[in-house]
A and B are shown apart, each in its own frame.
Chain A
Amino acid sequence: MQSIGDALGLAFALVFSGDPDLLEIVLLSLRVSLTATALACLIGFPIGALVAIGRFPGRNAVLVFMNALMGLPPVVVGLMVYLHLSRSGPLGFLGLLYTPTAMIIAQIILIAPIVAALSRQVLEDLHSEYAEQFRSLCLTRLQTVQALLWDARYSLLTVGLAGFGRAVAEVGAVIIVGGNIDHLTRVMTTAIALETSKGDLALALALGIILLVIALGVNAAVQSVRMTATRQAYV
């Protein structure tokens, strides 16, 4: 067990040395979480838009359900995906368990509801502003959804960021379906958990630092884009 000071020193040395193992873990984390976020947005944005503009029986129940799904426990999601992908499960024949694809699936299930619920709120607010003009223009539902998604693009970027934040920081689901296998499914969060339990705080801290830098970097980039958009009154 190292002291925090020693561990931090070793952690920074690892970060700046470009350690290949560390790099592999970081790149896999980014690949899994960015892919999951992109796919969750592809699923969540249209669902959010359709619920935002739709008026149908049971809509309130759908809203409650969508909001409830935002709080899905990751380990439960991991367990459900595990049961489906395990050899005896209905999708076992795909052989996806303990692969990055399984981790992406679990993260999509976790963050798609977040993306859908948050985008629904964003798009509903925008639609209340546009609705009368759009009706007057006799837009189809598809044209309305397309216009809302495009005009809310900067707000939806923040929604996507919220999804990415959840995905990249998630550990419970990916450790169940990924197995935390070295050089195959080990990502930053699962590696931090493992290395901490082993007492190798340097690697855990190094990964923690990188995780924080990624979170800060992505936030800064999105904030910069939003500020530019705000100056142009596109938000």
Chain B
Amino acid sequence: MRMQDVVLRFDADAVLKGVTMDLDVQGCTVIMGPNGAGKSLLLKLMHGLMAPTSGQIMWGAKAPSDVMSRQALVLQKPVLLRRSVAANIDFVLKARGKDIGLRDGLLEHVGLLHKATQPARLLSGGEAQRLSLARALATEPEVLFLDEPTASLDPASVLAIERIVSDARSRGVRIVWVTHDIGQARRMADDVVFLQAGQVAEHSAAAAFFSEPRSQAARDYLDGRIVF
């Protein structure tokens, strides 16, 4: 993916200010930064849910809206249908014209097969997020966008989700993950995009980012100082 001088404005306010970056075909990119830096908006622009005010985003030779069907998004707050766990998966499989028989395998993969008949909206936070992840994986995405999917989850749920995502990555799914969790970024990232005030302050390989961050903002963030 290539993002060239992308600007996003709401009225007169620029929330993303000339973002330029490239993403490789493989791996897990973690987008970090303080609240309000524009991380989630950047994710939505990449996925094509929003259009930039100016600038260009291309996946190969295609615009985000042209490849959206080959991508999936998991939000911080899972949006589950008012149906059973199984019906949530069935819905996506049917919508994408896929075999309903894939459902049990997906639920087993995320550890929810035993809850298949339960109402989805009565699942715990961690379970709901795993179902959301299973639904995203049901689309067999080439790119999986994760917008703070483990925020406010218990450690066991975080671990479960990281394992599922790691497994997807190992099968070639490109991961783009927004997180505040520095530990999680260390565990998952191949490269880190650090956003500050709507600009890319740094985009480095994960090892370099955590050992020798180039930007003062990233150094302050990693040291636990408040970054504006």
Q: Which of A1-9, A90-98, A137-145 has 4 or more CB atoms under 8 Å from chain B?
A: A137-145
A151-B81, A235-B82 given; A136·B68 CB < 8 A: yes
A122-148 CB mask vs B (1 if < 8 Å, else 0) is 000000011011011111000100010
Q: Do residues B75 and A132 form an inter-chain contact, with CB atoms below 8 A?
A: yes
Let me know if A143 and B95 touch, CB within 8 A. yes
Where chain A touches its partner, the secondary structure class is: helix
CA distance A138 to B73 in the complex (A): 11
8 Å CB contact of A234 from B91, B119, B139: B119
Chain A residues near B91: list those with CB within 8 A.
147
User: Is B216 close to A, CB under 8 A?
Assistant: no
A151 touching B49, Cβ below 8 Å: no
Answer whether residue B201 sits at the interface, using C-beta atoms and an 8 A cutoff: no
What size tier do the contact residues of chain A reach? Answer: 10 to 19
Q: Within residues 48 to 85 of chain A, which ones have a CB less than 8 A from any CB in chain B?
A: none
Q: Which of B68, B72, B82, B92 contacts A233 (CB 8 A)?
A: B82
* Cβ contact within 8 Å between A233 and B83: no
Pairwise interchain contact A232-B122, C-beta atoms closer than 8 A? yes
Q: Which residues of A contact B75 (CB under 8 A)?
A: 132-133
Checking A130, A143, A150, A233 against B79 with a beta-carbon cut-off of 8 angstroms, the contacting residue is: A130
**A148-174, CB < 8 A from B:** 150-152
Q: Is the CB of A233 within 8 A of B139?
A: no
Number of interface residues of B (CB under 8 A): 21
Task: Give residues in A with beta carbon < 8 Å to B.
Answer: 129-130, 132-133, 135-139, 143, 147, 150-152, 232-235
Residues of B within 8 A of A152 (CB): 82
Interface residues of B in 36-75 (CB under 8 A from A): 47, 49, 68-69, 71-73, 75
In the bound complex, what is the Cα–Cα distance between A151 and B73 (angstroms)? 21
For B122, list chain A residues within 8 Å (CB).
232-233
Residues in A neighbouring B96, C-beta threshold 8 A: 137
Answer yes or no: B121 CB below 8 A from chain A CBs: yes
Cα of A29 to Cα of B223 in the assembled complex, Å: 75
In chain B, positions 82-131 with a C-beta closer than 8 Å to chain A are 82-83, 91-92, 95-96, 119-122
Contact of B82 among A133, A136, A139, A234 (CB under 8 A): A234
- Write out the residue numbers on chain A whose beta carbons fall within 8 Å of the beta carbon of B79: 129-130, 132-133
15 additional contacts (CB under 8 A) given A129-B79, A137-B72: A132-B75, A133-B75, A135-B68, A136-B49, A136-B68, A136-B71, A137-B92, A137-B95, A137-B139, A138-B69, A143-B95, A232-B121, A233-B120, A233-B121, A234-B119
Pairwise interchain contact B95-A151, C-beta atoms closer than 8 A:
no
Complexed CA–CA distance, A152 and B49 (Å):
24
CA of A152 to CA of B68, assembled, Å:
27
Residues of B within 8 A of A136 (CB): 47, 49, 68, 71-73
21 contacts between A and B (CB under 8 A): A129-B79, A130-B79, A132-B49, A132-B79, A133-B73, A133-B75, A133-B79, A135-B49, A136-B71, A136-B73, A137-B95, A137-B139, A138-B69, A147-B91, A150-B83, A151-B81, A232-B119, A232-B121, A232-B122, A233-B122, A234-B121
Residue in A130, A133, A152, A232 with the greatest tally of chain B CB atoms within 10 Å: A133
CA distance in complex: A34, B202 (Å)? 65
* Minimum distance in angstroms from B159 CB to a CB of chain A: 25
Instruction: Quote the shortest CB–CB distance from B6 to chain A (angstroms).
Output: 19
> Which 4 A/B pairs are nearest by Cβ-Cβ distance?
A233-B121, A136-B73, A133-B79, A232-B119
| B211–chain A nearest beta-carbon distance, Å | 35
Q: How far is the CA of A137 from the CA of B122 in the complex (A)?
A: 23
- Shortest distance in angstroms between B168's beta carbon and chain A's nearest beta carbon? 16
- Determine the distance from Cα of A235 to Cα of B82 in the docked complex, in whole angstroms: 7
